[in-house]
């Protein structure tokens, strides 16, 4: 392992804006948001590779890339992601792909002595019936939601990987667990998207096609917390400069709404005037998932983008890119 700052000589401080900063997954929803935030913060040596340029599941290629670029900072935002349908249908892919991506990046970063690394997980790491709001110490205290347990196990392994590096090598790496994210760059595929972009697409298409009704999955009763990706990106940079600890940090708004309420807001911002029906034969997933963000607030950060504001801007982005997105959706 190359020489790097250790826990004994590292304390939270502003990151060097001229240092090499690698964003793994820089074209995804989270990674692209982080890339934009780092650019606006004045970072001058940002490094990103598309999946066609660098397959993070290929261990040799990942080690070669790190040996060549030798980044000082890394955000690991690359992951195979999807909604309930995709997670429930392809658990092998979600487990295997994410374990390989994480292990390769963490091991290669360790070999070259990356000083500061932020691993991004997901709030689905917590037990399905964890007390609400969910605190960080709920991890590994109960059964996971079965529709996305494979993805959750992979992300839990990533958290433990970061903690292991801190214990064994003393590097000040950290983990952040975002709540449900949305915003520009999201996946609007009809089969692979999460609930919010799926709803945006469904209501927008209903408006364009003049439909008088929309049917959504489940009962609409589950409660969900949503965070705009630009807020998430801002929180990531803040944590990298102000937080150091082995425990993962929840990143969210600390507020939630029912899926029905969210669907109603989306109907309003899209201009949909028809009826909404609910197919109760389809699964709801976890009944509630609200994060306790006390640790994040103690570190000095709170969300800024209101839900309606974020949905309006996301809808505008979707409509601007809809033709291209439908080609791959």
Binding residues for substrate: 202, 217, 224, 284
Distance between CA atoms of 91 and 77, rounded to whole angstroms? 20
Tokens 């590097």 — which residue? 171
Distance between CA atoms of 245 and 159, rounded to whole angstroms? 12
Distance between CA atoms of 125 and 142, rounded to whole angstroms? 10
| Binding site, annotated residues for NADP(+) | 25-31, 120-123, 155, 178-181, 194
Distance between CA atoms of 267 and 215, rounded to whole angstroms? 12
Distance between CA atoms of 4 and 54, rounded to whole angstroms? 25
Q: Are 270 and 199 in contact (CB under 8 A)?
A: no
Residues 6+ apart with CB under 8 A from 183: 29, 33, 228, 229, 230, 310, 313, 314, 317
Q: Is 151 a catalytic residue?
A: yes
**To which H or E segment does residue 278 belong?**
strand 275-279
Q: How many other CB atoms are there within 10 angstroms of residue 141's CB atom?
A: 12
Tokens in use for 273?
């005037």
| Binding site, annotated residues | 25-31, 120-123, 155, 178-181, 194, 202, 217, 224, 284
SS3 20: strand
Whether the upstream peptide bond of residue 302 has omega within 30° of 0, thus cis, is no
Residues 6+ apart with CB under 8 A from 122: 151, 152, 155, 177, 178
- Catalytic residue from among 22, 73, 126, 151: 151
Active site residues: 151
């Amino acid at each position: 392992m190359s020489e790097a700052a250790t826990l004994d000589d590292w304390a939270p401080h502003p990151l060097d804006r001229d240092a090499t900063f690698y964003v793994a997954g820089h074209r995804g929803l989270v990674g692209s948001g982080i890339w934009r935030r780092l650019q606006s913060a004045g970072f001058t040596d940002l490094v990103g590779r598309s999946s066609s340029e660098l397959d993070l599941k290929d261990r040799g290629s990942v080690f070669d890339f790190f040996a060549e670029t030798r980044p000082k900072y890394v955000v690991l935002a690359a992951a195979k992601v999807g909604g309930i349908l995709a997670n429930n249908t392809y658990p092998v892919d979600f487990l295997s792909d994410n374990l390989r991506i994480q292990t390769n990046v963490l091991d290669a970063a360790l070999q070259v002595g990356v000083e500061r690394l932020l691993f991004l997980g997901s709030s689905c790491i917590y037990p399905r019936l964890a007390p609400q709001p969910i605190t960080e110490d709920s991890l590994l205290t109960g059964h996971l939601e079965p529709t996305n347990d494979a993805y959750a196990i992979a992300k839990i392994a990533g958290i433990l990987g970061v903690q292991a590096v801190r214990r064994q090598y003393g590097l000040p790496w950290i983990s952040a667990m975002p709540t449900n994210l949305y915003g520009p760059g999201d996946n609007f595929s009809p089969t692979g998207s999460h609930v919010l972009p799926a709803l945006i697409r469904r209501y927008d298409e209903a408006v364009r096609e003049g439909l008088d009704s929309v049917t959504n999955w489940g009962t609409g009763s589950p409660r969900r917390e949503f965070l705009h990706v630009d807020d998430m990106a801002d929180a990531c940079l803040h944590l990298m400069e102000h937080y150091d600890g082995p425990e993962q940090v929840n990143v969210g708004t600390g507020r939630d709404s029912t899926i029905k309420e969210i669907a109603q807001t989306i109907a309003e911002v899209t201009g949909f005037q028809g009826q909404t029906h609910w197919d109760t034969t389809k699964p709801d997933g976890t009944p509630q998932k609200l994060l306790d963000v006390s640790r994040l607030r103690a570190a000095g950060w709170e969300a800024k983008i209101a839900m309606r504001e974020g949905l309006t801007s996301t809808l505008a982005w979707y409509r601007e890119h809809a033709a291209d997105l439908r080609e791959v959706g």
